[in-house]
Copies of this chain bind each other. A is one copy, B any other.
Amino acid sequence: MASVDHDVQDRTLAAAGLRRIDEAARSLPVLAAVRAHLAAERPLEGIRVSACLELDARTAVLARTLRDAGATVVLCGADPRSTCDATAAALVDEGIGVFAVAGEDDATFLAHLAASVDQRPHLLLDDGGDLIGLAHASRRELLDTAIAGIEDGRAGVERLREMEADGVLALPVLAVGEAQTRHLVDHRYGTGQAALDGVLRLVDPLIAGSTVVVLGYGWSGRGIAERARGMGAQVVVTEVDPLRALQAAMDGFRVAPIMDAARIGALFVTATGAVDVLRPEHMAEMRDGVVLANAGHGGFEIDVPGLHAAAVEESDTQPLVRTFTMADGRRIDLLAEGRPVGRMAGGAPAVVRDVGLATQALAAVYAVAHADSLGNVVYAVPPAIDEEVARRALQAVGVAIDGQPDGGAGPRPDEA
């Protein structure tokens, strides 16, 4: 196999990519441990894997891991803006097929997507549903050879569940985007840190002593609220779900309706998953100089059109910060156009990706091992995988724990 897009003569580019992948490998100890194990066992011998993922140096380490486990791997890049050509060049050198060019246009992307499945893959690794969607649409012959799809994105998983509910899902899918470790490491702690980090990088408030309103108390909201409190904020939580609201209250947070919170907050962070949670009627009550940011994985929690309509003047006071002036002179800063502020402006700690990539690798192995028993269903990640990833993540930070008496998953007697 060979890439048509990359100049394999470009030794310099490939060498730079190799250094980048090696550097990334050092930052992914969980995946490294999985890779060592799979390289010894080779459970993917003879398996063809096609993957449509963000094509960066970290994904490259996953590709290496799958290859070392025995698979033939072909990649295309799920987001042309984040495709790294040097990484692609280096991967080709390592015998991994790549169809991706940084910044490619839609037509090229689609051609690459199609090319990536010409090998008639056993496994489809997806982040956003492009490959699995293709197999359900114009390339249904792929469903004959495919063992399973593995979906890394939360929105992708949601769409696949709808397909299952509608009776049109024609492939088993493992929902790695909703693994327990993902909820913990990514949605709660990762998003909690990245969202506030993004806010600090953009507008730099002193969190201590300020009033931070967190809308929504799910995995992400909890993470944000805890971290804001840990930085000295007075945190106000809004929730429409009474059980979550009760938990927030018993966790010591002030809980209030949005309208009441609107009057006292200095920074508002949405994490509800719902649409237009923060609306003009709330904005009308806010103090001068407030900051609005969204941390939910969609970009729709703040009513941005409503804000445009309500303002008498707007300007980009700095990159990703748009300042709206209201008729009464109050100003409101909107961060990152309401898109996820952590992803747009915050950091992306390696451990978050490490846990995700390791889960993808183990899910691939699981799907192959259980090919015969899988139905056309969206499966949660099996507890054994979550536990293996958690165990290796603990080892990576130097934490030892006792073994379980029976060597198995163990009871969780104390929790529903």
Contact = CB atoms under 8 A, between A and B. Distances in A.
A316 B194 CA distance: 25
Contacts of A347: 200-201, 204
Contacts of A201: 201, 347
A59 interface: no
Interface string A235-263: 10011111111110111111111101000
Contact of A249 (B234, B264, B287): B234
Interface stretch (A83-91, A95-103, A268-276, A361-369): A268-276
A415 B289 contact: no
A404 to B, nearest CB: 4
Contacts of A185: 206, 246, 250
Given A201-B201, A227-B230, A246-B184, A397 B193 contact: no
Given A184-B250, A189-B232, A264 B200 contact: no
Contact of A229 (B189, B216, B252): B252
B183 A240 contact: no
A23 B318 CA distance: 12
Contacts of A204: 347-350
A306 interface: no
Given A246-B390, A252-B208, A289 B26 contact: yes
Contact of A412 (B209, B218, B416): B218
